[in-house]
Amino acid sequence: MIRGILAGSCRYMELSYVFWLLLGEVFSKSNQVIDFTSSKTLEIRKTCECFDLYNELVPYDKAWSWQKNIVKEKKELIESNEECPDSLIILQHSPVYTLGTASSEEHLNFDIKDPPFQVFRTERGGEVTYHGPGQLVMYPIINLRNHKMDLHWYLRALEEVVIRVLSSTFSIKASRLEGLTGVWIGDQKLAAMGIRVSQWITYHGLALNVTTDLNPFRWIVPCGIQNRQVGSIKELLRQSQPSNGCRKSDLHHPDDFQLIDITHNSLIKEFSEVFQLEVQHKTNPLFELSEKNI
């Protein structure tokens, strides 16, 4: 009887040892946790601080300077071997034209000495574009060391965010065009991309036309691409209305403010999913807006 008890005790100890050994293996895998509702192993998401000013008109030069300051701070963190969290700025701009490193003044349909709006020549890639009210701009300032050190992958990821927004929220099937950046519906470009990467830290980003007045694009050759048009979510939804003008519901035909809100929420969600980040909204006491709230 005693021998049976001892054998049972030894068996219990062996099982206990195996259990704690397996448990130790689970927790030794950094940034991973087992989801018991699925057979898949899920990575714990890194955080991304989000400065959400989507309802504000922010002057371009202020946002540009702000981005560069954040990039500088991240470089200092990396040099000090400190944690370098990703950041995201989302906003709208006061009307402005911006030129990238590849820009040519031949793509301006106005005298640059007498422009209809302010013009800034920047260090981002790409050609000339327009920013203005009704266009949501996302500036991800992320450390690609935490993701994938591949600029083509990063651009495709930005495009994927917008493609998912259009599909999941508006049932609009968007696509990429071979050899061109951005997101397209036929020959209409809805979202433009222009980035800069310094020591694998990104800045600048993407601009999505939601309720944007498209007339200012006539003063330029957008992105330097001839024989292509610029579109907006609002215009696509308007074109999809029944020919008799009947509205099925306010949900399917939101007003401009609702459309901005809906698109903004979807952009944050899809950005989080594509980049596998937990977005945490923050305020920045050092950045004071001089523009009025929309």
Q: Which residues are catalytic?
A: 223
CB 286, CB 241: distance < 8 Å: no
- Say whether 131 sits in a helix, a strand or coil: strand
- Alpha carbon distance 50, 283 (integer Å): 8
At residue 192's C-alpha, the angle toward residues 282 and 278, to 5°, is 30
Token pair for residue 50?
Answer: 């989000």
Length of the chain: 294
At residue 226's C-alpha, the angle toward residues 222 and 227, to 5°, is 110
CB 161, CB 48: distance < 8 Å: no
- Alpha carbon distance 74, 71 (integer Å): 5
